Amino acid sequence: MIPLILLLMAVASVDAEPVRVGSKSFTESVILGEIVARLARDTGAQSEHQREFGGTRVLWNALLRGDLDIYPEYTGTIAQEILAGKDVAAGEDGLRAGVEAEGLRMGRPLGFNNTYAIGMREEIADSLGIRTISDLKAHADLVFGFSNEFMDRGDGWPSLRDAYHLPHTDVRGLQHDLAYRALESNDIHAMDLYSTDAEIEYYGLRVLVDDLEHFPTYHAVLVYRPDLETRAPHVVAAFSRLQGAIDGGTMSGMNKRAKIDRVSESRIAADFLDSAFDVSSTVVEITVVDRLLRRTSEHLTLVVLSLVAAILIAVPLGILAARHERLGQLILGIAGVIQTIPALALLVFMIPIVGTQEPPAICALFLYSLLPIVRNTYTGLTDIPHHMRESAEALGLPPRVRLRLVELPLASRSILAGIKTSAVINVGFATLGAFIGAGGYGQPILTGLRLDDMSLILQGAVPAAVLALLVQGLFDVSERVLVPRGLRLDPVD
């Protein structure tokens, strides 16, 4: 125990606050994040890498809030997405001034330009004679599959359509890595690409020429909080070594190693730092069991905290609903409306309110848990036969005592069933927490989708299913303890 405390104190004294690096939910960003984190560590600083933290908005807001210190971004995204609608001068310096006006800092470009592009399978493009984006106009029946981010970004599909006057109507939003597979199976005919995607070569895709020069440049840059310069100036200085150090070929190569050769991002980042800067860093490959345990504890944290909070709030709400008919309809209505909000939307709603990672995930799960518990508490109480309630009333028991001694025990089975429903649903919903950096079983599913790795997807999906079954079993057992024995008997006559 004592050595442990000493160790903790030692760790705390070296650097009270580690450099928190974030990355977006795609391979290139994870590799860049890993490079940044390792480079920081090489200066002697503590650093941690929040992999696959989320999309642009999630990361930018996390940086503004101080949940993160630094993450890799693209100039095009900053111009078109983050600072869209703001008065920003053209060029890199204009952008830098724009970022500073937001209270953050932007480093110099890392080298490569990962712009958007439109890609098709080589043989299809060839047979239709499509070479440029303009050529698409003549083929209105083609089906497009775009990443959700591309569907509504300032420089994404809407402006591309307007710029090229594209007539296509069958345009689907789907996850970027799944789009490659949809393209492969001819479910879609064209998709958005990042020009450094490893899959372009792997799948033999034709990158259509952006003949109207619609897409802006997407130079990778590091964006960070200004306090990092005072807190860890040597770390910021080390980051400047990355300027212009990664060209397009290097980046595509690293992407290919991760996605096609299945090398871990940590290993790729370490190899890059070793060959480019002669910086050696150790790569600890975490065992499957360790990872499973960590994810289980993350997942359980999400489920248990949200469920406990939901029970504490929803049972009293259910009681209130059963007591006052009009208020009851209102409460049940609101809980029902919450249920209809799409899970991802609810998660993203939460970010400006409670930040990133666990809190928004727990809040969202909490909100989803309300309806089953409120409704079952309400139903359990209102289903108590009238004569039973009258018997309790006729005894001369005050309302509170009737509730505690008679009504809640009689409704216990229904209330418990509601809690069970919420718990099982929560185990499933919690996998979405990974989209906003909350970890859990959703993390391997997300990474598996990104890397097109079925075994990784199963590493998340199987434990989640097992946990759901365990939770179900746990509640079946607890029903025997919590539901009074007299309610579980069949009448003798």
State how far the Cα of 82 lies from the Cα of 71, in Å rounded to an integer. Answer: 14
CB of 475 to another protein, least distance (A): 19
Q: Tell me if 487 contacts another protein by CB under 8 A.
A: yes
Number of residues that bind another protein (CB under 8 A): 26
Coil vs helix vs strand at 191: strand
Alpha helices in 240-287 (DSSP H): 248-259, 265-277
Binding another protein (rule: CB under 8 A), the pick from 85, 129, 342, 491 is: 491
* Residue 159 CB-half CA count within 13 A: 14
DSSP 311-328: HHHHHHHHHHHHH-HHHH
Binding another protein (rule: CB under 8 A), the pick from 254, 406, 424, 456 is: 406
Q: Tell me if 293 contacts another protein by CB under 8 A.
A: no
Binding another protein (rule: CB under 8 A), the pick from 126, 383, 393, 476 is: 393
Binding another protein (rule: CB under 8 A), the pick from 12, 101, 237, 405 is: 405
Q: Tell me if 403 contacts another protein by CB under 8 A.
A: no
Q: In whole angstroms, how large is the CA radius of gyration of the chain?
A: 27
Q: Tell me if 400 contacts another protein by CB under 8 A.
A: no
Give the pairing type, strands 105-106 and 47-54.
Answer: unpaired
Instruction: Retrieve residue 178's tokens.
Output: 């799944």
Q: Tell me if 353 contacts another protein by CB under 8 A.
A: no
Q: Tell me if 325 contacts another protein by CB under 8 A.
A: no
Contact present, 45 and 191 (Cβ < 8 Å): no
CB of 367 to another protein, least distance (A): 32
CB of 375 to another protein, least distance (A): 22
State how far the Cα of 450 lies from the Cα of 245, in Å rounded to an integer. Answer: 25
Residue type, 228: L
Q: Tell me if 395 contacts another protein by CB under 8 A.
A: yes
CB of 482 to another protein, least distance (A): 11
Q: Tell me if 396 contacts another protein by CB under 8 A.
A: yes
Contact present, 223 and 22 (Cβ < 8 Å): no
Q: Which stretch binds another protein (CB under 8 A): 41-49, 91-99, 205-213, 400-408?
A: 400-408
Q: Which of residues 235-264 bind another protein (CB under 8 A)?
A: none
Q: In 3D, which of 73, 11, 70 has the Cα closest to residue 44?
A: 11
CB of 148 to another protein, least distance (A): 51
236 vs 415, beta carbon nearer another protein: 415
Q: Tell me if 397 contacts another protein by CB under 8 A.
A: yes
Distance from CA of residue 306 to its chain's centroid? 17
Q: Which stretch binds another protein (CB under 8 A): 12-20, 46-54, 179-187, 383-391?
A: 383-391
Q: Tell me if 163 contacts another protein by CB under 8 A.
A: no
Residue 146 Cα distances to 406, 407, 434, angstroms: 57, 54, 21
Q: Tell me if 381 contacts another protein by CB under 8 A.
A: no
Binding track, positions 408-447, relative to another protein; x by CB under 8 A: -xx-x-----------------------------------
Binding another protein (rule: CB under 8 A), the pick from 35, 160, 246, 392 is: 392
State how far the Cα of 270 lies from the Cα of 349, in Å rounded to an integer. Answer: 36
Give one word for 213, left, alpha or beta, with left for phi > 0 and alpha for psi -120 to 50: left
Q: Tell me if 7 contacts another protein by CB under 8 A.
A: no
Q: Tell me if 484 contacts another protein by CB under 8 A.
A: yes
DSSP 358-413: HHHHHHHHHHHHHHHHHHHHHHHHHTS-HHHHHHHHHTT--HHHHIIIIIHHHHHH
Binding another protein (rule: CB under 8 A), the pick from 387, 477, 480, 481 is: 387
State how far the Cα of 218 lies from the Cα of 201, in Å rounded to an integer. Answer: 20
Q: Tell me if 492 contacts another protein by CB under 8 A.
A: yes
297 vs 391, beta carbon nearer another protein: 391
State how far the Cα of 426 lies from the Cα of 361, in Å rounded to an integer. Answer: 10
Binding another protein (rule: CB under 8 A), the pick from 7, 401, 454, 462 is: 401
Tell me which residues touch another protein (CB under 8 A): 387-388, 390-398, 401, 405-406, 409-410, 412, 484-487, 489-493
